[in-house]
Amino acid sequence: MYYVWETRVRRPTDLVVEQYPPAFKEHRLRLMAGRRIMRPLPELKVEVAAAPGCTLTDDLVIRKRRCLVHSNRLVDTLRRAGVDCIDYYPSLLVNEATGQAMARYQVANILDVIHCLDFEGSELDIDDEEPSEIWTIERMKLLEDRLGDSLMFRLGERRKTVIVHESVKEAVEREGLSGPVFLPAEGYREYGGGQAENPLNLIGTHDLDPDGEAGFWLDEEIEAE
């Protein structure tokens, strides 16, 4: 069974990074492309607005994004679970107000990209003039016969969406790591619309979502990376 990896706030004190880190743009990191970065990179600085007493999630909560910056515990857990499709680049979290270093993390570049969306079995809102342009996934179904023994990958038709095998979900949950929330891929659906009332960083949901249904719609647009 496969699951969509969401990155959410689980505690009131969890830190939320409100914008895509400028350092990623500065170094032209295209983390949705599924391509190895061949040039050397410096330690990537991620400046955060850290309130006193805030807590850091193992999968850093970046607004409207998922699975981009991992703690060393999460990196080790994924490797032990057999995930070998991620290149990591050292990163330093810095309090933007004080300039003080907070923790060392790893920026995650998922290299596996699989086109496996079942267009006939899914419910999709598609651009009438450009059939390859998906506006919203209203209910997802995957062609699992295309997945082989894949453990973790980006969905080719919707690269912001990260899919993991049940064994990866279980490994992360067994370690009690914070940030990741896993929703069944079968029947997963996205939101669209405003994000102002989105304290949990909801990107999509499912009938079995542990956080229940949201009464608002989240913006589907993601900045070009």
Report the predicted TM-score, pTM, of the whole model to 2 decimal places: 0.91
Q: Cβ distance 102 to 56 under 8 Å?
A: yes
Give the model's pLDDT for residue 153: 98
Locate 195 and state its tokens.
């994000």
Partnered with residue 10 across adjacent β-strands are none
Give the model's pLDDT for residue 217: 38
Give the model's pLDDT for residue 40: 94
| Low-confidence stretches of the chain (pLDDT beneath 70) | 192-196, 213-225
pLDDT digits (tens, 9 = 90+) for 113-125: 999 999 999 999 9
Give the model's pLDDT for residue 213: 62
Compute CA distances 108 → 86, 113, 137, 173, whole Å.
6, 14, 24, 19
Give the model's pLDDT for residue 198: 83
Beta-carbon-side half-sphere exposure of residue 154 (alpha carbons within 13 Å)? 22
Written in H, E and C, the secondary structure of the chain is: CEEEEEECCCCCCECEECCCCHHHHHCCCCCCCCCCCCCCCCCEEEEECCCCCCECCCECEECCCCCCEECHHHHHHHHHCCCCCEEEEEEEEEECCCCCEEEEEEEEEECCEECCECCCCCEEEECCCCCCCEEEEEECCECHHHCCCCCEEEECCEEEEEEEEHHHHHHHHHCCCCCEEEEECCCCEECCCCCCCCCCCCCEECCCCCCCCCCCCCCCCCCCC
Q: What does the alpha-carbon distance between residue 7 and residue 225 come to, in Å, rounded to a whole number?
A: 18
Locate 32 and state its tokens.
């949705």
